[in-house]
Amino acid sequence: MTANSYGFDTLAIHAGQEPDPRTGAVVPPIYQTSTYAQDAVGAPRLGYEYSRSGNPTRDSLQECLAAIEGGQRGLAFASGLAAEDTLLRTVCRPGDHVVIPNDAYGGTYRLFSKVAERWGVDWTAVPLDDIDSVRAAFRPGHTRLIWSETPTNPLLNVNDIALLAGLAHEYDAMLAVDNTFASPYLQQPLTLGADVVIHSTTKYLGGHSDVVGGALVTADAGLGDELAFHQNAMGGVNGPFDAWLTLRGIKTLGVRMDRHCDNAERIVGYLREHPAVASVLYPGLDTHPGHEVAAKQMSRFGGMVSFRAAGGPEAAVAVCNRAKLFVLAESLGGVESLIEHPGQMTHLSAAGSALEVPADLVRLSVGIETVDDLLADLEQALG
């Protein structure tokens, strides 16, 4: 099944998930096995030998991921960072250089600054919404990759995917886009020229805060084959039950994202008028510097909202601590609403660096609850 033949919701429900040929089960089985009986020496049945190398449940998920992102090859991993690490070590060598966002996710920053850098991969953090800064950061012959998040975590800046792809290809480099915040329902970077898409499937794709996973989807089958080799060689795969849970979540991605967006828009409107809020960060606002680009490359603006507390850092922490229906927790993209203080939680690894986030920032992952209940909770939390 491909994006050219079916609509998004049809692909999310059916791609890679045909009824089981033996029993007719409409949901793919969980192949909870580590190894497989072979028909003869050198003749594994259907190509399955060992579940690190291949598992039918994971294969179902990988086929679905490729279909909903409009890609040639999908690969599933144990976490988003396992996917990122596999991508880096597949396309980069010691001496290579990567351009990353100056407001990257804290875990991504840690991967570059504490792991890849020691392995000989250099990096430069620049505002990716400033194409001149990106071009100035390029080191011809050494820059292998532009690493984009759009919208970014947690400042919700927007990068022009088509523009970055053109620049990367001009220098014989690649563009990787972390599409976790938008999800493939709202944005499909491969159709805009990106070479590979990254996901923490823990977030919107899984959607229920009950599974951890990651994914890579490629526009080119050859790159997909290289990544698949490293997926097996490095071993950061997800288990069959995790793959099954992620598939289950993807089936309702479209209807969930519609509600996430509806609720987020109501909450943004409320926050903009509240005296305890200094500013609201959301790409759907026409005052957002990336609004026009977001409107061009996204179908809607997502369920993530950040704001800066008028009372400063102490007020931001107090809002997080007073929230009740909004659960104080890391992660995002689940059906339940979450609130966090990025500076002391998800982005603590960037403290003291050029990527440090404002101490008065609060990040909301707006869930799919009754929106009036969410608004009432914010009212009491904001005081």
Q: Which residues are catalytic?
A: 52, 105, 178, 203
Structure tokens at 14: 């059916």
User: Nearest-CA neighbor of 128 among 145, 113, 111, 106?
Assistant: 145
Distance, in Å, from the CA atom of 274 to the CA atom of 308, rounded to the nearest integer, reads 11
Dist. CA 158–CA 78, nearest whole Å: 27
CA distance 252 to 205: 9
281 forms bridges with which residues in the sheet? 306
Rounded CA-CA distance 124/344 in Å is: 24
Q: Are 18 and 71 in contact, with CB atoms under 8 Å apart?
A: no
The DSSP-derived string for 247-272 is HHHHHTHHHHHHHHHHHHHHHHHHHH
Helix axes 253-272, 371-382, angle to 10 degrees: 40
CA 299 to chain centre: 17
Cα distance between residue 143 and residue 170, in whole Å = 11
Question: 318: how many CB neighbours lie within 10 A of its CB?
Answer: 18
Which tokens go with 282?
């959301």
CA gap 354, 133 in Å, rounded: 15
DSSP helix/strand/coil, 305: strand
